[in-house]
Structures are given as structure tokens and as C-alpha cells.
Amino acid sequence: MDPNDITRAKNAYQDSPKWLLAVIVILLVTVVFFRPWVIIGAGERGVVMNFGAVQQEVLNEGLHIRIPVMQVVVPMDVKIQKVVTKAAAASSDLQEVSSDVALNYHVLPDKANIVYQRTGIDFKNRIIDPAIQEVVKAVTALYTAEQLITKRPEVSIAMREALSQRLEEHFISVDAFSIVGFSFSKTFMEAIEDKQTAEQRALKAQRDLERIKIEADQKITTATAEAEALRLQREIISADLIELRKVEATIRGIEKWNGILPNVTGGAVPFIGLENVTGK
């Protein structure tokens, strides 16, 4: 064997691990730099884009492989989110109303790619807040300021239904809606307070009138009963009863007489009067 061949083979054997190590290093750098995988977290969906074009495929939670350079995956939050918004509006009787409303919503998971394509990830400022403002104004204008207070559950349902229809067009679902509170002008609040005071006074006057009427009816009933009793007593008293009472009084007078006649100057013997005996 030629000594040169032996030398070349020996050099090739010594140099081959270096080339292999270089290839491995290059592969590792490529994997780390280009990251040909993506992890979609809990409550998220992945929007796939090929050279910037949104694809129909929506990635679920977990680990996924992507093509470096060509594909970009944008995570979209599809968990339930909450927003509290203050909205100014006017009632049907032209009273200024400031409403605080709370909304719970989420992006439809299988439509995350369309939501991203239309509005991006800032859909709260672009879609949610304007929709709340418009719905609150539209529904508030259907009620008077007083009805907004007395019919609050009805108003809340009307706002939720209108908001659900509006956000459904953008593939956003309403989970809960509530009116945190209404605020009115100072003049209106004073008018409401005066009205409630007047109603309370009117109610008290009505109750007093009913009480007086009941007491009057009771007095009339009592007087009627007493008059009826007197009438019955008068019917019982008769001429015979009067004579009987006179006889009884005469008998009691005789029983009390001591048998001595009074001294008189005339010739007749006076009769003992009942008044003298009974002291009447």
C-alpha cells in the first residue's frame, strides 16, 4: 500500500468528527434561531399565516410544528374576559344618564382566525367598547329616567340582547351583562326625592282618612246600638208598669210609717204622701 494513501486515510478519519460536529452545531443553531415549533397555551388558539396570509386552519392548545420563515403563528386569547365601561346617554324624557355596565365575553374559538383577520388582537377597543356605547345610548332612549330605575332588569335584558346581536356579527359571544349603576343629574335626583316624599305623605294621609272613617263607623255603630237599646227600654215601659211601681212605692211607705198621725189644724186627716215617706 502506498504510504500516501495511508496518510490521506488517516487525515480523513481525524477530520470527519470535526465536520460532523460542525453539521450538528449548524442544525442546532438553525433549530434554536428559526424555532420550527409553536406552543399554544391553555385558553388560546393559534392563527396560522403563510407569508402573512391568514389560513383557515386554527391551532388548538398544545405543541405544533411550523415551517420556519414561511409560517407565523399568532396566539389568540379565547378565554372569558371582562370589561367595565361608562356610557353617557339621554332618556326618552331628555334626562342625562350616566351608566356603568359590565360585560363578560369571549372570542369564538373556531373563528379566531377571522377575528384576527378583520380586527387583529385589539378587538376590545375596536369592537367591544364602541358596541357598548351605541347599545346603551339606543336602549336608554327608549325609557324615561324613572323607568330606567323601576324597570332596571328589563332594561338590562334589552341591552344584553342588542349587544349580543351586534357582537355576534364579529364572532364574539356575550357570556354575561349587567348594569352596575345609573347616575342622574342633581336636579333630577332632587325631583325624585321630592316625589317620593309627596307619595309617602299622600299614603299617610290616605291611611289617616281610612282610620278616621273606620273610627266614625265604629261610633255610628255604637250610637245606633245605644239608641236601639233605649228604644227597646221605652217599649218595655207601659202604663201598667208605672202603676205597679206606684203600688210598690206605697207599700214601702206604709212599712216605714210609725203609726203616729201628724198634727194638723184642719178637720180632715191628711193622707200620708209617698213623697214624704220615700223622701222623693
Global model pTM greater than 0.75: no
Indicate if 73 and 93 belong to the same structural domain: no
pLDDT at 274: 45
Indicate if 59 and 92 belong to the same structural domain: no
Assign 143 a pLDDT band (cuts: 50, 70, 90): very high
Indicate if 73 and 86 belong to the same structural domain: no
Higher local confidence (pLDDT), 82 or 259: 82
Do the domain assignments include residue 124?
yes
Do the domain assignments include residue 222?
no
Final residue in a domain of this structure, among 184, 205, 228: 184
Assign 95 a pLDDT band (cuts: 50, 70, 90): confident
Count Cβ neighbours within 10 Å for each residue of 191-203 and write b for 16 or more, e otherwise: eeeeeeeeeeeee
Computed on alpha carbons and rounded to an integer, the radius of gyration of the chain in Å comes to 54
Q: Rounded to whole angstroms, how far apart are CA atoms 45 and 38?
A: 11
Q: Rounded to whole angstroms, how far apart are CA atoms 198 and 190?
A: 12
Indicate if 64 and 142 belong to the same structural domain: no
Do the domain assignments include residue 210?
no
pLDDT at 36: 82
Q: Is the pLDDT assigned to residue 279 strictly greater than 50? A: no
Chain segment 177-214, per-residue pLDDT in tens: 999 988 887 777 676 666 766 667 777 777 777 877 88
Looking at residue 93, which CATH number applies to its domain?
A: 3.30.479.30
Do the domain assignments include residue 258?
no
Indicate if 12 and 29 belong to the same structural domain: yes
pLDDT at 197: 65
**Burial of 279 from C-beta contacts in 10 A (0-12 / 13-18 / 19+):** exposed
Indicate if 99 and 40 belong to the same structural domain: no
Do the domain assignments include residue 151?
yes
Final residue in a domain of this structure, among 151, 184, 217: 184
Do the domain assignments include residue 270?
no
Indicate if 178 and 93 belong to the same structural domain: yes
Indicate if 119 and 176 belong to the same structural domain: yes
Percent over 90 (pLDDT), the chain: 40
Do the domain assignments include residue 102?
yes
Indicate if 110 and 168 belong to the same structural domain: yes
Indicate if 51 and 87 belong to the same structural domain: no
Indicate if 56 and 93 belong to the same structural domain: no
Do the domain assignments include residue 24?
yes
pLDDT at 102: 95
Q: Is the pLDDT assigned to residue 278 strictly greater than 50? A: no
Q: Is the pLDDT assigned to residue 251 strictly greater than 70? A: yes
pLDDT at 33: 64
Final residue in a domain of this structure, among 184, 215, 244: 184
Q: Is the pLDDT assigned to residue 173 strictly greater than 90? A: yes
129 in Cβ contact with 85 (< 8 Å): yes
Indicate if 12 and 58 belong to the same structural domain: yes
Domain count, the chain: 2
pLDDT at 86: 92
Owning domain of residue 140: 81-184
